[in-house]
Amino acid sequence: MNPIQIKEGIYWVGGIDWNLRNFHGYLTQRGSSYNAYLIIDEKITLIDAVKAHLAPEMIKRISAIIDPSKIDNIVVNHVEMDHSGALPELMKLTPNATIYTSPKGEIGLREHYHADWSFRPVESGTMLNIGRRNLHFVLTPMVHWPDNMVAYLPEEKILFSNDAFGQHLASSERFDDEYPLDIIMLEARKYYANIVLPYSKQVQKALVGLQGLDIEIIANSHGIIWRKHVSDILAAYQSWASNETRKKALVVYDTMWHSTERMALAVQEAFNKHGYVTSLLSLQTNHISDIMTEVIDSEYICTGSPTLNGRMLPTMSAFLTYLTGLAPKDRKAIVFGSYGWGPKQIEEMAGMLNSSGFEVVTTEKLKYVPTEDQLEELTQRISDLISS
Ligand code: FEO
């Protein structure tokens, strides 16, 4: 694929990772892309790069426009190696290019690549003149690492946002008016839930910092570029970063002999009676990163596991480790499960959720195989709690 012009003299020169299916634990069913951008001006400037294995692809795209040795400036908005991995190969071609990055970006790049490159650290408010255009930098720490920043090009009304507003999505289409919007939004939501969620406070701050910028294009570093639905993705980030929930309950469970599964159905039934949107999600058939996409707007997270060797099932342990690490705020939890001789898993699950800030509103355990009466009583108890 050739480079793609996003505005006159500004090109997408990134790489497409069609076969990526696992991004450190995040199931990326649609692959991903690492978007890099080349600005042709008096000072030729590259914004971000790609993963190491896609360096030849990026360099080929750059070479279709200019000789890569002519690159004067490289803006590194984020150190993580999906965006910086190609730098060692690129720097061999343009060793005198200056790298503009945040102070933490410089430290991070030195600690990753141990190379003697020319760095110029920038702060929020630093402006870099590249000819007839100027790049303005805004530091956005923790969206997604301490080093993150974004670059704004006012003459073209383009925000180079790096991880923010991205989606793990491989496609030959580059723009949001060329690809089904429901899929882009779903993948943006999954990306937020699995990557950005712990940093929602910092996102809110960053969104305030972006207020007042006239943005025509959000040139992110993963997936589809926003140009028609800029206000939609900004509004979605506002909502996700505010921890807004709706009348929705997730029932996430694993089961050995279907007793906990029957409890899961009884718990779900209580929420259905109260008009909640519900999802019943078995950990045997749903990936934890897909479940997180549902967590993002759920008021209740109900988790069920039977006992195995005095503990919760390992699938539940993995889910709770992942969930509590991503730290959704202001959520209620219900913990349930069947047991044989010791219901230790209930305490274990409730402990993890409580210590991570969830409000565990009840714990429910039933011995061996529950009767229909016990399940009806369970539904009633949960229903009473929802009404109270
Ligand atoms: Fe896409 Fe935090 O790297």
105-142 pLDDT, tens digit per residue, is 999 999 999 999 999 999 999 999 999 999 999 999 98
C-alpha of residue 78 to centroid of ligand 1, in Å? 7
What integer pLDDT is reported at residue 388 of this predicted model? Answer: 85
Q: Reply yes or no on whether the pLDDT at 335 is more than 80.
A: yes
Nearest Cα neighbor of 368 from 345, 344, 341, 346 is 341
List domains and CATH numbers for the chain: 4-241 (3.60.15.10), 246-387 (3.40.50.360)
CA atoms within 13 A on the CB side of 155: 15
Q: How confident is the model at residue 209 (pLDDT cuts 50, 70, 90)?
A: confident
Nearest Cα neighbor of 237 from 276, 219, 210 is 210
Q: How confident is the model at residue 41 (pLDDT cuts 50, 70, 90)?
A: very high
Collapsing DSSP states into helix, strand and coil, what is residue 71? coil
CA atoms within 13 A on the CB side of 182: 0
- Residues 163-181 have a mean pLDDT of 97
Residues within 6 Å of ligand 1 by CB: 78, 80, 82-83, 144-145, 163, 221-222
What integer pLDDT is reported at residue 212 of this predicted model? Answer: 86
Is 168 an annotated catalytic residue?
no
As separate numbers, helices (DSSP H) first and strands (DSSP E) second, the chain gives 12, 23
What integer pLDDT is reported at residue 337 of this predicted model? Answer: 98
Q: How confident is the model at residue 75 (pLDDT cuts 50, 70, 90)?
A: very high
- Residues 183-191 have a mean pLDDT of 98
pTM: 0.95
Is 163 an annotated catalytic residue?
yes
C-alpha of residue 166 to centroid of ligand 1, in Å? 9
* Cα(6)–Cα(146) distance, integer angstroms: 29
Is 78 an annotated catalytic residue?
yes
C-alpha of residue 80 to centroid of ligand 1, in Å? 5
CA–CA distances in Å: residue 341 to residues 308, 309, 311, 344, 366:
11, 10, 12, 9, 11
Is 80 an annotated catalytic residue?
yes
Is 258 an annotated catalytic residue?
no
Q: Reply yes or no on whether the pLDDT at 1 is more than 90.
A: no
Ligand 1: atom nearest CA of 145 is 2
Among candidate residues 34, 100, 179, 222, the one labeled active-site is 222
pLDDT in tens, 369-383: 999 999 999 999 999
- The residue whose CA has the least distance to atom 3 of ligand 1 is 80
CA–CA distances in Å: residue 49 to residues 59, 91, 125, 181, 356:
10, 11, 23, 26, 36
Q: Reply yes or no on whether the pLDDT at 285 is more than 80.
A: yes
C-alpha of residue 104 to centroid of ligand 1, in Å? 15
Tokens representing residue 197 in the block = 């969620």
